[in-house]
């Protein structure tokens, strides 16, 4: 799922020797050929490993992995679209097989550690070692236990229901999300918020065990803990990566704080200063979203003028009778307008677009690449609204990326870094502007004047930034043992208060497990990718808009129908993961570093307005 972005791969033991061209129990001594002797100059590790061995090794490993990945994707698809005891166990088995193979192969690959190799081979070997999102211990029993826990936690999340006095039946996450988006009845908001957080309580013990087992797996691969593997995928050291992320956050922090200050005062006007206190964090259940990660559902409260409705096209979607498939067609239409391919027939036949009524499924939106060729699918419980319209573009971005890197060798069939995968579809969605919506008949007139569309975007993108950091800052500390199970909830809320400036209405004790109420925690999907994507997509947008010759503010630019931009995007996608991400970034934008100046430039007109609005207020928390 998420293109094997959430790969469950894990570790095991046996270090097999690879002899002169094939796997063997005992490596024989093979005399190097003349060319190999040249290549081997400077090699630190003695022994029989040669460049040709490494090449032969990868020739075996890549098809072997591919076959196991495909089997895992199929099992995982069936489980996620039909959660039962059996499908969960079948999926866990398929995960185990990948975990075992990757760890075995990664261990074997250490044989080439000191060998001077052509860049492509070295990169593949490096990628193999960090490709494990969930490494397992050497012991097969522990490996099975970890695979079962991981699959089980995701299912608990998928099955989660909220029962409150406000509705007769218990509600799904999609249903309570709609209440959080639309209701302004504070006690009801609190009830559904608390109700959803209860679903995570049974995961608490499992999560602690999963951390132990996954860390044991990571250590088996030579990493200090699981967090070090996740941080080790960015062509730099884990410490350097953390520093990068902090640097980017410092760039955008003033913008977030000004948005927070403004939002708090509007919420005070709505709910009163007793509920929303001066100088204090905002209550987490009042921001229109379960995790307070995106605030766009509060446009009615936050629009700069009285024209909030002018950017809302949910009404138009409903009036036109657009159904979930119709929504996806709009998405595809944008990609094809750039000169990119149509989605394959099988995509329309095999995707899951709606919540089925007769079975439990994992509704959290995701994009799949079942056979690593063209069996592309999305899995989503689409509601006809703006938020899902945007998410569809996000998911299709994954599918297009997957489609265009399919010619790469297996180990390169991924994005430049995971932030790129998340950013691709978002770049398209940034071009879903009032003028685009007018063109495709979803807004009557481009009328939405002034800052309203930009505020709408800020509530989605700027509000998200700190949450994009918090999830993994929490997990990095948990994996490193800095946060113990007895402190899970305290540490979670400390980070949410520090970065997001939100807090729960009432104290949350350690009998609860609030991080587990966010999909990516039970599902073991790293999260910093979304923070990176939030920064990167504006760099792409700025560069692509320059290519279109756009004049005027960045937020009014749409790349719709621009074939030049389409070619630029296609070239980047085709590279897959074959080159360091800075090269892919350079090819697409001319820039080599991740840099928040683009997002700041995009929101500058709004930021100027916010500063004025906030004058005389005490900001911060």
d(CA 425, CA 596): 19
Sort strands 282-283 and 502-503 into parallel, antiparallel or unpaired: parallel
Interface of this chain with Zn ion, residues 420 to 449, rule: CB under 5 A: 422
Burial class of residue 459, CB neighbours in 10 A (0-12, 13-18, 19+): buried
Find the part of the chain contacting ligand ASP (CB under 6 A) among 57-65, 98-106, 393-401, 509-517.
393-401
Candidates 294, 395, 472, 514: give the one binding ligand ASP (CB under 6 A).
395
Residue 148 touches which of Zn ion, ligand ASP, none (Cβ within 5-8 Å per kind): none
* Residue 367 near ligand ASP by CB under 6 A: yes
Helix (H/G/I), strand (E/B), else coil: 369 = strand
Candidates 7, 123, 197, 394: give the one binding ligand ASP (CB under 6 A).
394
388 contact partners, CB below 8 Å, separation of at least 6: 327, 380, 382
Residue 610 touches which of Zn ion, ligand ASP, none (Cβ within 5-8 Å per kind): none
Q: Residue 504 half-sphere exposure, CB side, CA atoms within 13 Å?
A: 17
Structure letter (DSSP) for residue 379: E
Residue 327 touches which of Zn ion, ligand ASP, none (Cβ within 5-8 Å per kind): none
To ligand ASP, the closest distance from the beta carbon of 6 in angstroms equals: 9
Give the nearer residue to ligand ASP in terms of CB position, either 108 or 395. 395
* Residue 4 near ligand ASP by CB under 6 A: no
To Zn ion, the closest distance from the beta carbon of 522 in angstroms equals: 17
Residue matched to tokens 């305290």: 490
To Zn ion, the closest distance from the beta carbon of 398 in angstroms equals: 6
Asked if 296 contacts 180 with a C-beta cutoff of 8 angstroms, the reply is no
Residue 263 touches which of Zn ion, ligand ASP, none (Cβ within 5-8 Å per kind): none
Backbone angles phi, psi at 24, to 5 degrees: -145, 160
Give the nearer residue to ligand ASP in terms of CB position, either 216 or 414. 414
Find the part of the chain contacting ligand ASP (CB under 6 A) among 142-150, 257-265, 394-402, 432-440.
394-402
Find the part of the chain contacting Zn ion (CB under 5 A) among 270-278, 414-422, 442-450, 561-569.
414-422
* Residue 366 near ligand ASP by CB under 6 A: yes
* Residue 462 near ligand ASP by CB under 6 A: no
CA terminus-to-terminus distance, the chain = 38
Render the burial of 283-321: b for 16+ CB within 10 Å, e for the rest.
bbbbbbbbbbbbbbbbbebbbbeebbebbbbbeebeeee
Beta bridge partners of 32: none
Beta bridge partners of 23: 18
Find the part of the chain contacting ligand ASP (CB under 6 A) among 261-269, 320-328, 389-397, 478-486.
389-397
To ligand ASP, the closest distance from the beta carbon of 96 in angstroms equals: 24
* Residue 429 near ligand ASP by CB under 6 A: no
* Residue 376 near ligand ASP by CB under 6 A: no
* Residue 391 near ligand ASP by CB under 6 A: yes
Contacts of 176-183 spanning 24+ positions with Cβ under 8 A: 176/290, 177/289, 177/290, 178/383, 180/285, 180/288, 180/289, 180/290, 180/297, 181/288, 181/289, 181/297, 181/385, 181/387, 182/297
Which residues are part of the catalytic machinery?
364-365, 394-395, 398, 422, 520, 530
Residues in contact with ligand ASP by the rule CB under 6 A: 2, 365-367, 391, 394-395, 398, 422, 530
């Amino acid at each position: 799922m998420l293109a094997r972005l959430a790969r469950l791969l894990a570790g095991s033991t046996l270090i097999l020797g690879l002899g002169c061209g094939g796997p063997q129990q005992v490596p024989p001594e093979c005399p190097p050929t003349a060319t190999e002797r040249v290549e081997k100059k400077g090699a630190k590790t003695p022994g029989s490993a040669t460049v040709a061995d490494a090449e032969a090794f990868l020739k075996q490993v890549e098809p072997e992995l591919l076959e196991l990945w495909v089997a895992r994707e199929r099992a995982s698809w069936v489980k996620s679209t039909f959660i039962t005891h059996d499908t969960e166990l079948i999926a866990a088995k398929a995960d185990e097989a990948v975990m075992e193979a990757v760890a075995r192969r990664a261990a074997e690959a250490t044989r080439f550690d000191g060998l001077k190799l052509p860049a492509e081979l070295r990169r593949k070997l490096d990628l193999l070692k960090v490709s494990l999102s969930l490494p397992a211990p050497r012991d097969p029993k522990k490996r099975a236990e970890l695979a079962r826990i991981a699959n089980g936690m995701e299912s608990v999340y998928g099955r989660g229901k909220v029962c409150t006095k406000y509705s007769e039946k218990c509600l799904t996450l999609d249903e309570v999300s709609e209440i959080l988006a639309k209701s302004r009845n504070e006690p009801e908001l609190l009830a559904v918020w608390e109700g959803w957080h209860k679903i995570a309580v049974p995961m608490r013990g499992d999560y602690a065990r999963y951390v132990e087992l996954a860390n044991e797996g990571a250590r088996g691969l030579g990493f200090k803990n699981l967090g070090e593997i996740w941080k080790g995928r960015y062509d730099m050291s884990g410490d350097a990566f953390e520093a990068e992320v902090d640097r980017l956050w410092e760039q955008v922090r003033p913008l977030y704080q000004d948005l927070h200050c403004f939002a708090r005062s509007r919420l005070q006007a709505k709910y009163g200063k007793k509920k929303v206190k001066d100088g204090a964090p905002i209550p987490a259940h009042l921001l229109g979203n379960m995790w307070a990660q995106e605030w766009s559902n509060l446009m009615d409260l936050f629009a700069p003028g009285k024209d909030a409705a002018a950017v809302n096209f949910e009404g138009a979607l409903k009036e036109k009778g657009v159904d979930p498939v119709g929504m996806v067609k709009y998405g595809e239409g944008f990609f094809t307008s750039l000169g990119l391919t149509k989605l394959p027939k099988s995509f329309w036949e095999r995707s899951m677009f709606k919540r089925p009524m007769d079975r439990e499924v994992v509704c959290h939106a995701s994009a799949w690449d079942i056979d690593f060729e063209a069996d592309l699918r999305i899995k989503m419980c689409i509601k006809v609204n703006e938020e899902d319209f945007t998410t569809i573009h996000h998911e299709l971005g994954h599918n297009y990326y997957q489609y265009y890197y399919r010619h790469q060798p297996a180990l390169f069939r991924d994005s430049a870094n995971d932030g790129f995968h998340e950013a691709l579809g978002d770049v398209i969605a940034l071009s879903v502007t009032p003028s685009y919506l007018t063109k495709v008949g979803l807004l009557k007139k481009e009328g939405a004047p002034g800052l309203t569309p930009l505020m709408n975007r800020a509530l989605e993108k700027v509000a998200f930034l700190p949450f994009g950091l918090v999830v993994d800052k929490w997990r990095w500390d948990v994996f490193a043992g800095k946060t113990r199970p007895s402190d899970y909830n305290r540490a979670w809320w400390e980070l949410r208060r520090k970065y997001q400036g939100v807090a729960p209405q009432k104290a949350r004790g350690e009998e609860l497990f609030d991080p587990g109420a966010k999909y990516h925690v039970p599902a073991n999907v790293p999260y910093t990718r979304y923070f990176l994507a939030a920064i990167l997509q504006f760099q792409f947008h700025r560069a692509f808009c320059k290519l279109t010759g756009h004049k005027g503010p960045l937020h009014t630019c749409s790349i719709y129908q621009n074939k030049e931009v389409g070619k630029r995007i296609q070239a980047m996608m085709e590279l897959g993961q074959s080159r360091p991400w800075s090269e892919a970034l350079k090819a697409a934008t001319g820039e080599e570093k991740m840099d928040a100046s683009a997002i700041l430039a995009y929101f500058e007109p709004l930021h100027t307005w916010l500063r004025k609005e906030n004058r005389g207020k005490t900001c911060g928390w």
